Amino acid sequence: MLRTVKTENGFVRGTPAADPRITAFKGIPFAAPPVGDLRWKAPQPAADWEGVRDCLEFAPISVQNIPGLNKDDIYTREWNVDPEIPMDEDCLYLNVWTPAKSADEKLPVYVWYFGGGLQVGNPAEMEFDGERLARRGIVVVTVNYRVNVFGFLTHPEITAESPDAPANFGHLDQQAGLLWTKRNIAAFGGDPDTITIGGQSAGGMSVLAQLNCPANKGNIQGAIVESGIFMGFYQPRMLETLADAEKRGEDFFRFLGVKDLKEARALPAEYIRDKNIEYQGRWGTVTDGLFQPDNYMESLRKGKLLDVPLMMGYTDDEFFAAPEATTMEELKALAKERFGEKAEEFLSLIKADEGLEAAKQNASVSTIKNAVHGAYRLMEDNGMQSPRYFYGFGPEIPGWDHPGAFHSSDLWFFFETLAKCWRPFTGKHYDLARQMCNYWANFVKTGDPNGDDADGTPMEKWDAYTKDSPACMGFRDMPKAEIQHVSELEEFLIASQIK
């Protein structure tokens, strides 16, 4: 097994995973610590080291709200269980799981970005163990990145100082992890020309952001977006410009009590974190004209995303949207503002004559499921040639809280890490997870999820999605192929988004 590997900066030593045929390298630096004058700058090259660096434990997580404190929160119960997990602004490290015995195997590579709204999260969460995927013959890389105000603040002084990289530092960290993988993964037995990127929730949105970066062309051969594409059917399109984001940055500096960037960089990270919590700041992707030439949804409409094999899907019980109206007059005004001359058609579709509450219930739709439909239609209309695969996830999730197929519940399954969870999963769940992990690994290998189960029998055939045949793989009791048509209302709402 590969236990010691030479990277561009020096030798690293890994440790056997639970399966000793897999080696895990944890906490490999892929960029310089983003501290001091490097706070709010694009990631810089990591320093070289002498000797062999032990990479046996996860590096500290990026600075964020302390996890594991809110015992009423479902994500605290699931995986954010440790309030004492090490946290540091020096956080640009990644992790590698490899099954390779030598450096010349050229195995397919999966680069993973965690979710958490770009505000929280880390690759040390227990569900993100890459061992089970690696056992299927791929190299798995999980990348840490800066989040919240540390990863996504913008300010006029930052722009003036770094006009070539004024924003989106967390996404630039993700990209730096991808490029490090491109340069170094061959030493771990991986193929630098067969890299699939993937992520869930904000990690999935981050995948779309990477596909929306023209500089990534040639570095990405496939992409997986789990619950990471959204369409605000009842909200106006909000596109924050760099100038808009800079104004928020100026306001935050005033809230911090600093007069300039130098003073802000001199503050302790914990102080900035705590002031950001008080400020209730949410910082995210900015259309900066550089890393993000346009908002990814606008790029979708224009056919400008990178054209690679793509898998996207949703869970059954996440993120439904309905009109926010307290009176029928407000509902009608919203319909007029949002749908213009088609307002009456919309009101008819939701049966507004049945009363406000019934109309709002009738109007409730899945924002992610329908966003996938809309995105795939746009891609086909724009002539994108790569195959696209669609899934829905909705098995019974056990536990005293009866949570349904909640947002992120699928993480346990496609990483096949159910045994780490407190929930009383049974045989059917393990069977489903095994096959989901198979599909994901197959997609990473070939851009096609189809293949055989562990006993050599073919798994359920998963067809690519087209407008004429909107194929979907349903992961519920067991994988089941279906054709997923949308309702008349969903058709109306999707059309309103993709025009």
**Long-range contact list for 10-14, CB < 8 A, 24+ apart?**
10/48, 10/49, 10/50, 10/51, 10/52, 10/53, 11/51, 11/52, 11/53, 12/52, 12/53, 12/54, 12/55, 13/52, 13/53, 13/54, 13/55, 13/56, 14/55, 14/56, 14/96, 14/98
Beta bridge partners of 73: none
The CA–CA distances, whole Å, from 240 to 149, 167, 206, 295 equal 16, 12, 16, 9
Location of structure tokens 């997870």: 433
Please, is 89 exposed, middle or buried when counting C-beta atoms within 10 Å of its C-beta (0-12, 13-18, 19+)? Answer: buried
- Angle made by CA atoms 170, 171, 174, in degrees to the nearest 5: 95
Q: Which residues contact 40 (CB under 8 A, 6 or more apart)?
A: 150, 153, 155, 158, 169, 261, 264, 265
Q: What does DSSP assign to residue 418?
A: G
CA 336 vs. chain centroid, Å, equals 34
CA–CA distance, 62 with 23 (Å, rounded to integer): 24
What pTM value is reported for the model?
A: 0.97
Pick from 442, 425, 450, 414: nearest CA to 315: 414
Q: Where are the beta strands (DSSP E) in 399-498?
A: 471-475, 479-483
Per-block average pLDDT, block size 10, for the chain (499 residues)?
96 97 98 98 98 98 94 90 96 98 97 97 97 98 98 98 97 98 98 98 98 98 97 80 95 98 98 97 94 92 95 97 95 95 96 95 97 97 97 98 97 98 97 98 98 96 98 97 96 92
Look at residue 157 in the predicted model and tell me its pLDDT: 98
Q: Read off the amino acid at residue 362.
A: N
Cite the active site residues: 201
Look at residue 115 in the predicted model and tell me its pLDDT: 97
CA–CA distance, 207 with 175 (Å, rounded to integer): 10
Quick one: tokens of 212? 């929306």
- Structural fold of domain 4-321+367-467: Rossmann fold (3.40.50)
Query: Cβ distance 463 to 473 under 8 Å?
Result: no
Pick from 250, 282, 240: nearest CA to 159: 250
Q: Where are the domains of the chain?
A: 4-321+367-467
Query: Cβ distance 187 to 6 under 8 Å?
Result: yes
Quick one: tokens of 431? 């069977």
CA–CA distance, 30 with 146 (Å, rounded to integer): 13
Q: Which residues contact 140 (CB under 8 A, 6 or more apart)?
A: 96, 97, 98, 109, 110, 112, 130, 133, 134
Look at residue 499 in the predicted model and tell me its pLDDT: 78
Please, is 467 exposed, middle or buried when counting C-beta atoms within 10 Å of its C-beta (0-12, 13-18, 19+)? Answer: exposed
